[in-house]
């Protein structure tokens, strides 16, 4: 087959799977239809089964990944819009961000000590709890690999989405702020999406926490890396 055509088909496949699963999820609210789970899985399976060379897959789809940088900048808009909320609870939000960030790093470090994973994998694990655009910027400081990081971030998001409700029930966490901050700090975008399903307030708080945790991770990564290293 013509290589350009194949590359174009890959772009179409990516867009189709993503928007398809998004529409499906909107209609039937089932976890396994969630775009974060179904879309990457469907694309991965197709690429593996049809033995599509990765170079062809990336010829056009890498432009999608290039949109991560503008998306990072776009986070300025929700921060601006919710500035009243930030002013209202500065201590809770900032301590939540710090605790979430430190816990994320500490647990990754523990995993690194307790298991025998190859270093490129365990290094990529360090930034797993922050949003992808920030994680990809920060992972270099720890010696992580962007592709592995992207996958680990995705996995962390899916896990957070799946375990949050039973955990909140068992631990008797009821306040909207606690749920929002915990989801945003531990499961980034997927957590924020889940939080908006629980309630509007939870969603806004989760998105803010996710953004601030991401920024803090990028700012502090060189420092943390030198402490751990």
Partner 1 sequence: MPLSFSAIQSKLCKLFLLLAQVSFFCLFAYSCQQLASWLHSPLPGSVIGLAILLLLLCGKVIPEKAVNSGAAWLIGDLLLFFIPPVVAVLKYEDILEQYGVTLISSMLAASCLVLLGTAFTVDRLFNFERKLKLQKQRKHAQLLRAPVKIAPTHTASGVSL
Closest by CA position to 179, among listed 163, 155, 107: 163
CB 87, min distance to partner 1, A: 11
Q: In the structure encoding, which two tokens stand for residue 105, read together?
A: 């790093």
CB nearer partner 1, residue 143 or residue 146: 146
Nearer to partner 1, 1 or 114 (CB): 114
**Residue 150 phi/psi, 5° resolution?**
-55, -40
Q: Output the smallest distance, CB 88 to partner 1, in A.
A: 6
**Per residue in 189-221, is it b (16+ CB within 10 Å) or e — as a string?**
bbbbbbbbebeebbbbbbbbbbbbbbbbbbebb
Maximum distance among all alpha carbons in the chain? Answer: 59
Q: How far is the CB of 100 from partner 1 (least distance, A)?
A: 4
User: Which C-beta is closer to partner 1: that of 5 or that of 167?
Assistant: 167
| Nearer of residues 27 and 174 to partner 1, judged by Cβ | 174
In the complex, the smallest distance separating the C-beta of residue 179 from partner 1, rounded to whole angstroms, is: 7
- Kindly provide the residue ranges of all beta strands, DSSP E only, lying in the chain, ordered along the sequence: none
Q: What is the C-alpha to C-alpha distance for residues 122 and 105, in angstroms, rounded to an integer?
A: 11
């Amino acid at each position: 087959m013509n290589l350009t055509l194949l590359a174009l088909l890959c772009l179409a496949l990516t867009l189709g799977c993503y928007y398809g699963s998004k529409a499906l999820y909107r209609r039937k609210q089932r976890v396994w239809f969630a775009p974060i789970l179904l879309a990457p899985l469907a694309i991965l399976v197709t690429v593996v089964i049809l033995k599509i060379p990765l170079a062809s897959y990336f010829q056009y789809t890498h432009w999608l990944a290039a949109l991560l940088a503008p998306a990072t900048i776009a986070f300025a808009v929700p921060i601006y819009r919710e500035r009243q909320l930030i002013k209202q609870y500065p201590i809770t939000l900032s301590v939540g961000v710090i605790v979430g960030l430190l816990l994320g790093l500490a647990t990754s470090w523990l995993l690194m000590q307790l298991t025998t994973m190859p270093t490129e994998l365990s290094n990529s694990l360090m930034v797993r709890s922050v949003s992808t655009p920030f994680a990809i910027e920060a992972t270099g400081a720890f010696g992580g690999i962007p592709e592995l990081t992207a996958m680990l971030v995705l996995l962390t998001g899916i896990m957070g989405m799946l375990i949050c409700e039973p955990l909140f029930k068992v631990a008797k966490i009821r306040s909207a702020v606690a749920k929002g901050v915990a989801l945003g700090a531990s499961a980034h975008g997927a957590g924020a999406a889940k939080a908006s399903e629980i309630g509007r307030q939870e969603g806004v708080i989760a998105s803010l926490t996710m953004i601030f945790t991401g920024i803090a991770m990028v700012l502090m990564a060189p420092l943390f890396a030198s402490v751990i290293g």
